[in-house]
Structure formats: structure tokens, C-alpha cells
């Protein structure tokens, strides 16, 4: 039974109502720590609601549930976007979470009396808390490269965040930029839905992996091998991939020089294959070099060739966009990512936690759940901040 006598009187504010924020609030509640989730949109799971219609998790249902409520078996092994959103809504209700929507936190400051944190939020709100958990995640703000000439492109140029379904691209010539999981999935979907031509611009060769082999998911394999030495894990993964995936070097997609676990450390982690190999081998998706610039209706590629797609979909990632929120506190690295994560906090910022700012090979949702429990444990055992004695 949760201990309701915890000394924190003000709530712990959790910034962000996605899976990480909801899981952390639920874990805090189980330990008797009151948590209030502040979500800038009008519903939980906003970033998932904005994803494309045909998205399915690459992690299994069993390893993607959050603490205290498994994802129902009716959702199948690979959970769809709509089923995940429904699950997050049920998760909120099941745990009785205190979620306030339509409230955006713009800045977090140290409290003037040294007793915790002051949050500046929508409508001039000033919220005090002994601890804050930032759970706005990696997919906060779409990142569109500043390609020379892009403003004058006469075709359609949009970020993948604005892509919903392949049907509007039927019979059209489309270039997808970026060979991560989003870009490869969109390219395969476009090819399967009747696009006249689909090209995929690749700068960094992806570490393609089968989502499942012989009944064992890639996620389960990552969990089992995560504590192996990196070279050993890479060797095992590359051997398996050679057996399961064709060599696409002749189509412009060679095997990466490094293994997926080494690549993950440098930001080029495993990419679930999701039909790309077959689409490339059949000529339905063509691999081209990276985009360098635009010239009118043409796209200039890294080999100085020019192509003329009608539409360009940029699957070029997102920014955390934490600078305005906490950048002045000295808690971010040169890339704008938190210096510490999960239960750890900096000595200069006690009680300020971050979750959801990594891409673990063992599955984001699984790690968010583990992170939530660790953060809750740390906060439940943290003494309430002492307030300065009044002046006499």
C-alpha cells in the first residue's frame, strides 16, 4: 500500500503527457507522491496522435506496456497507432492520473527561496514544486534542414510530421529523405499504395534488422544482448542479418561498416526492415544519395546529380527544444540533450529529472517504464527541501 505520509506537500510537476510522463506520474502515485501532469495539447499522447495512420510499434506488445497496466492482447503483437493512443487514455483513467491539458510550461527556474522549482506556464501561471520531471521527449519540434534553395522549390516539400497517409501521393513522383525507421516505412507505404516513383535519399546507411525472426523479436534479442561487450553484440547481430537480409549493395544500399550497437552509440541505431529490402530489390523504392540543395523544381544530390520529384517528404528527425525551458540552468549538453537522465540529477539542479530523451535499442516504451519506477523511487526517498529560516 502506498505511503500517503510523504513530506512533499506541493505536487511533483511532470511536464509532458506522453508515455514517459504518464508512466512517471503513475509510479509516483504508487509511492504516495502526488504528481500533476502538465500537457500543452488537449489530450494525452499528443505526439503519437500526430504520427502517420499506418504506424505500428516495432516493439512487441508484451514489452511495450507501462507500469501497472499491460497493453491488451486484442491489440496484437505489433500495436497500431490508434490502439496505442487508446491504451494511453485507458492508462490515464486506470491510474486516476491528474492531467491538466492546454497548459504549456515555457520555463523552469530555481525557486527564489531555494526550496525547489518555479514553473512559468500558460496564462501567467507560476507553479511551485519541490521536484520537476521533464518528459517532453525527443519528438518535440520537427527538424527540417536548411537546404539552400528550399524556399524556391516549386514542388511540394513537407516534414514527415505532416505526412499522414500514402493515398494523396498515388501516381506521383516522391522523394523521401532520411533512412531511419520513419523514412523507410513511409517509402515502403508509398510504393505499395501506387506512387508513380519512390526514391529514398540516404546519407547514413541504415542498420536494417528484421523485426522478428523464428518467433524472436529484434527487441527481445536486444534486451538479451544489451549487457554483452559491444563488439560481441555487433558480431552476433551482423551474422544474423547476413543470414536474414539480402545484400543490397548493387542497389545503392551497402551493409554498414559497423554493427548496429556501435552505430547506436553514434546516433545510427538499428532500423526495423519493414519491407524495405523487398521493395528495393523489386525496384519499387530507388536508393539515391543525400540531398544537398534545391534549384527551382530540381533537387541536387550529393553526387551532383539532379532529380525532379513532384513531392519531397523529409524524415529528418526532431529537436528536443529544451533550450527555452531549461537551457539557462546548465543541464544540457552541446546538442541540447539532458546531461543526466532518469533518477539521476545534477548537483546544481537537485530534483530536476528528465525522461524520454534517449533511443534505447531495447525499446523506448519499455525503458520509459523502467525509468518511471527509478525516478519515483528517487523522489520518494528524497527529503523535502528545507526552507530558509525567516529573518529575525
150-168 pLDDT tens trace: 999 999 999 999 999 999 9
What was the pLDDT predicted at 268? 61
One domain for residues 17 and 135:
yes
Residue 53 covered by a domain: yes
How many residues are given for the chain? 392
> 137: closest CA among 50, 35, 20?
20
Q: Which of 39-43, 82-86, 265-269, 327-331 has the lowest mean pLDDT?
A: 265-269
One domain for residues 197 and 67:
no
Residues 62-92 have pLDDT tens digits of 999 999 999 999 999 999 999 999 999 999 9
What was the pLDDT predicted at 261? 64
Mean pLDDT on 98-105 = 97
Coil, strand, or helix at residue 180? coil
Phi, psi (degrees; rounded to nearest 5) at 262: -65, -45
Q: Which of 74-78, 182-186, 227-231, 318-322 has the lowest mean pLDDT?
A: 227-231
One domain for residues 162 and 305:
yes
* CB of 253 closer than 8 Å to CB of 285: no
Mean pLDDT on 114-137 = 94
Using left for φ > 0, alpha for ψ between -120 and 50, and beta otherwise, residue 63 falls in alpha
Domain boundary pick from 314, 343, 368:
314
Domain boundary pick from 291, 314, 337:
314
Give the rounded percent of residues in the chain with a pLDDT score beyond 70.
Answer: 90
What was the pLDDT predicted at 3? 36
Domain boundary pick from 276, 297, 314:
314
Helix axis angle, 19-30 relative to 81-94, nearest 10°?
20
Structural domains counted in the chain? 2
Q: Which of 129-133, 173-177, 180-184, 268-272 has the lowest mean pLDDT?
A: 268-272
Range of the domain at 333: 12-140+320-380
One domain for residues 365 and 255:
no
- Rounded distance, CA 252 to CA 288, Å? 7
The pLDDT of residue 360 is above 50: yes
5 — pLDDT class (breaks 50, 70, 90): very low
One domain for residues 261 and 281:
yes
One domain for residues 100 and 162:
no
Mean pLDDT on 324-346 = 96
One domain for residues 210 and 151:
yes
One domain for residues 307 and 187:
yes
Mean pLDDT on 206-233 = 73
6 — pLDDT class (breaks 50, 70, 90): very low
- Rounded distance, CA 336 to CA 358, Å? 12
Alpha helices (runs of H) in the chain, residue ranges in sequence order: 19-30, 46-49, 81-94, 181-192, 218-225, 230-244, 260-265, 276-281, 323-326, 364-380
208 — pLDDT class (breaks 50, 70, 90): confident
What was the pLDDT predicted at 392? 40
What was the pLDDT predicted at 342? 95
Coil, strand, or helix at residue 190? helix
Strand bridging mode 141-142 / 318-319: antiparallel
314 — pLDDT class (breaks 50, 70, 90): very high
114 — pLDDT class (breaks 50, 70, 90): confident
Amino acid at each position: 500500500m502506498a505511503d500517503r505520509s510523504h513530506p512533499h506537500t506541493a505536487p511533483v510537476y511532470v511536464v509532458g503527457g506522453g508515455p514517459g510522463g504518464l508512466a512517471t506520474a503513475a509510479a509516483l502515485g504508487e509511492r504516495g507522491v502526488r504528481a500533476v501532469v502538465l500537457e500543452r495539447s488537449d489530450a494525452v499522447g499528443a505526439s503519437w496522435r500526430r504520427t502517420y495512420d499506418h504506424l505500428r510499434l516495432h516493439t512487441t506488445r508484451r514489452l511495450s506496456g507501462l507500469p501497472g497496466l499491460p497493453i491488451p492482447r486484442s491489440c496484437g503483437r505489433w500495436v497500431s497507432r490508434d490502439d496505442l493512443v487508446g491504451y494511453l487514455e485507458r492508462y490515464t483513467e486506470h491510474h486516476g492520473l491528474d492531467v491538466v491539458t492546454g497548459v504549456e510550461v515555457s520555463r523552469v527556474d530555481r525557486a527564489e527561496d531555494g526550496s525547489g522549482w518555479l514553473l512559468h506556464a500558460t496564462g501567467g501561471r507560476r507553479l511551485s514544486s519541490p521536484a520537476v520531471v521533464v518528459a517532453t521527449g525527443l519528438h518535440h519540434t520537427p527538424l527540417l534542414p536548411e537546404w539552400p534553395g528550399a524556399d524556391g522549390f516549386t514542388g511540394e516539400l513537407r516534414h514527415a510530421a505532416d505526412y499522414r497517409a500514402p493515398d494523396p501521393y498515388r501516381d506521383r513522383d516522391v522523394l523521401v529523405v532520411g533512412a531511419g525507421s520513419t523514412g523507410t516505412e513511409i517509402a515502403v507505404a508509398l510504393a505499395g499504395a501506387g506512387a508513380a516513383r519512390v526514391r529514398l535519399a540516404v546519407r547514413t546507411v541504415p542498420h536494417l534488422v528484421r523485426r522478428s525472426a523464428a518467433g524472436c523479436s529484434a527487441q527481445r534479442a536486444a534486451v538479451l544482448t544489451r549487457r554483452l561487450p559491444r563488439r560481441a553484440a555487433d558480431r552476433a547481430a551482423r551474422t544474423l542479418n547476413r543470414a536474414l537480409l539480402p545484400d543490397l549493395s548493387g542497389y545503392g544500399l551497402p551493409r554498414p561498416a559497423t554493427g548496429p550497437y556501435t552505430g547506436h552509440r553514434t546516433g545510427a541505431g538499428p532500423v526495423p526492415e519493414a519491407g524495405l529490402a523487398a521493395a528495393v530489390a523489386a525496384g519499387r523504392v530507388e536508393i539515391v544519395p543525400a540531398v544537398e540543395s534545391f534549384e527551382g523544381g530540381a533537387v541536387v544530390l550529393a553526387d551532383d546529380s539532379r532529380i525532379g520529384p513532384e513531392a519531397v517528404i523529409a524524415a529528418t528527425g526532431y529537436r528536443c527544444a529544451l533550450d527555452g525551458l531549461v537551457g539557462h540552468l546548465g543541464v544540457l549538453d552541446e546538442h541540447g540533450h539532458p546531461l543526466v537522465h532518469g533518477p539521476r540529477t545534477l548537483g546544481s539542479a537537485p530534483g530536476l529529472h528528465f525522461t524520454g530523451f534517449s533511443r534505447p535499442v531495447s525499446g523506448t516504451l519499455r525503458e520509459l517504464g523502467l525509468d518511471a519506477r527509478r525516478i519515483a523511487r528517487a523522489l520518494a526517498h528524497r527529503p523535502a527541501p528545507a526552507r530558509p529560516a525567516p529573518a529575525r
